[in-house]
Amino acid sequence: MKKLITEEDIAALVSVTDPQYAPDGKRAAYVQTKVNQEQDSYSSAIMMYDADTGTSSRWTYGEKKNTSPRWSPDGRRLAFVSDRDGGVPQLFIMNAGGGEAEKAADIPWGVSDPIWSPDGKSVLLSVSLTSSERADDQEKKKRNEFEPVDIQTLTYKRDGKGLLKGSWTQLVLVNLETGNLQQLTDHEADHYDAAFSPNGEWLVFTANLTDQGDASKPSDVYLMELKSGRLKQITPYSGSFGSCAFSPDGSYIAMLGHENEYRNATLEKAWLYDMKNERLSCLTDMLDVHLSDALIADSLIGGVTPRPVWTNDGQGFYVLGTEQGSTGIYYISIDGLAYPIRLEDEYVNGFTFHPDQKSYIAVIAKPSWPSELYCIPLGEGEEKQLTAANDRFVGEHIISVPENLQYETKDGLTVNGWFLKPARFEENKTYPLILYIHGGPHMMYGHTYFHEFQVLAAQGYAVVYVNPRGSHGYGQDFVNRVRGDYGGGDYRDVIQAVDEAVQAYPFIDRERLGVTGGSYGGFMTNWIVGQTDRFKAAVTQRSISNWFSFHGVSDIGYFFTDWQLGHDLFEETDKLWERSPVKYASQVTTPLLILHGERDDRCPIEQAEQLFTALKKLNKTTAFVRFPGAAHELSRSGHPKQRMKRLNYIYSWFDQYL
């Protein structure tokens, strides 16, 4: 008999990510991640799929994290990053024929994002360094955690990292023959999304080199001539660009980005830089699709969004796109032709093309099946599931299948979402309903397995979750509609979701309604309980309660508040207060549980503290749970035991009041 899904089943899920075909197409490396319960962390292994046998084998062992497998140009070696040696991620090289991996360099600050040079002699790495540190520093001085932090810029902290202490991501080249390190960049800025030209003469990367220290400023793409170190900016100082890839002959650079027309609500577009004519052009002005992954899920650990993948003839490239609750793969030609080659009711997180480009391997999670690898022909033919990492989990558990929900708003918008029945649904019973609101707000729920919703369904709850205005996946106008109207049209959209669900499913007990959400969804939960007494229980997570203070304490608050609320901090303080849920604490009658991570720098815990204090002073029914060390991503990639306890707190609160 199949079992109900529980919070502990987080440890049973396997995350399959980052596939990489070998140059000969006979094998594909990928990463498999699962919970390490003893160490309350995650373990990642490099796996190898053999196309001839149709089987996978493990290439790295132990309980550490082994990630980012990357083939050398000749296919004879595999580079990857591992924390097996002392807990700091380092670059390792393994022969494709097997054997022990060898550490390529000793960089005490850790490394990430390995990229092979075209000649296969070197590997480019990203390293976080302060202005006084060099990657090739032989003294390798240990950082003093008690040293005072001198802050000169607005970007002094980052969620998940804490205080940056003056460190920036620099690009470092490791010569595999000599072991020598060459630091290619040293600006006080993060350098990322690097790529070599096919002839090895140029390096392209993204950085903000004109207004360092302000994350709200544009990010531009730069060309570096490796021989001289000369830099050339190839994008206008007007937006955010990155994810670059050279065409096979080096004539073009494909990239993704936008010109900030709608601030952080702007859709990612595909761009082309002509190396010979030094001209940048947008290829997808007419495509109303966000060319990135904006789908929210909680069962995929370590997903890697691929940069553009060129066709062998250099006439176009493939990218991910977010549309209508799905992510798929889009083809973009250098002439501006754009269309999806794969867009199903599923979540495509990554892909790698076979060298002959007649097929590709994709990481796909489906509504009732967590991530696996699938081989998909480019044309006629059937897809084939290559891995069975989650077969046992799916076979042993009751998984509630989401049903589509769509409705029209009074102002003429179409809102899409899903409804999840209780796992052991019985026709003649009534059930409580939970409205779950996503964060962002410029993200998207979609056609994917969502563990948290399955846990709630297993506890006997129906769940409704929708993409209100402001969500990605439904075009530029839709995603921009929330800006300047928080708590307005978006509030009406999610409340209507409840109305639609109650009407469509008579078994819902309209007297037992709950609401929850995190980040922007936490803000909306706070807003809802201050505006209506319709819900009998609520749980707010990593939320915003006071826009005025959020402006100064969040790692993005100083620009996010301006961009999203549209009110000046100094001249329109009253308007920020009008949109702050804490103002309406006296109107709250719904029992409210407040969950927050203590190291959340995106929505700092003082937001929860303010709300809890206000409600307690007013003798409201509330409780406050703090998660030590937890950052903003607690629910998706935080410590496994904290994730489990968090789920238990949520459904226990609903059990008590619903």
Is 18 in contact with 78 (CB distance < 8 Å)? no
For residue 437, give the H/E element and its range.
strand 431-437
Helix (H) or strand (E) run with residue 196 in it = strand 192-196
How far apart are alpha carbons 634 and 643 in whole angstroms?
A: 7
Q: 181-183 and 192-196 as β-strands: parallel, antiparallel, unpaired?
A: unpaired
* Residue among 12, 23, 76, 15 nearest 44 (CA): 15
- Tell which residue, 11, 652, 20, 33, has the closest CA to residue 371: 33
Rounded Cα distance between 565 and 556, Å, is: 13
> Is 624 buried (19+), middle (13-18) or exposed (0-12) by CB count in 10 A?
middle
Cis ω for the linkage preceding 441 (within 30 of 0): yes
Sign of CA dihedral 480, 484, 489, 490: positive
CB of 491 closer than 8 Å to CB of 524: yes
Long-range interactions of 635-638: CB distance < 8 A, separation 24+: 635/298, 635/452, 635/518, 635/541, 635/542, 636/297, 636/298, 636/301, 637/42, 637/301, 638/597
Q: How far apart are CA 75 and CA 23, in angstroms?
A: 5
CA gap 300, 297 in Å, rounded? 7
Alpha helices per DSSP H over 520-572:
520-531, 547-553, 557-565
* Size (the chain), residues: 658
Could you tell me if 415 and 468 are in contact, meaning their C-beta atoms sit under 8 angstroms apart? yes
Alpha-carbon gap, residue 347 to 349, rounded angstroms: 6
Beta bridge partners of 351: 362
Q: What is the distance between the alpha carbons of residues 22 and 97, in angstroms, rounded to a whole number?
A: 12
| Amino acid making up residue 22 | A
Query: Contact at 8 Å (CB) between 23 and 70?
Result: no
Catalytic residues: 519, 632
